Amino acid sequence: MSFSIRLNSEEEKLVKSYAKIHGYSLGEAFKKALFEKIKEEYDIALAEQAHNEFMKDQETITHDSLLKELDL
């Protein structure tokens, strides 16, 4: 799949500079940035889900209690 994107001159300079610094083509720079953003948002969503599940239960034990429970 391919697509085109319109950039103003400042955006173009920024993208070209970023790509050059990292040794990427423009296409690689956009692809890497897009997938990094997707990964970050996915990780945030998983963290929020885990936090929400914890907040529902909130059953925690201390480190000492866990060691005692495991006979350590």
pLDDT of residue 59: 78
Question: 25-53 as b/e, with b when 16 or more CB fall inside 10 Å?
Answer: eeeebbeeeeeeeeeeeeeeeeeeeeeee
pLDDT of residue 62: 86
Q: Give the Cα separation of 52 and 41 in Å (integer).
A: 16
Global model pTM greater than 0.85: no
pLDDT of residue 58: 75
pLDDT of residue 1: 85
pLDDT of residue 55: 87
The residue ranges of the chain whose pLDDT is under 50 are: none
Question: In a 3-state reduction of DSSP, which class is residue 6?
Answer: coil
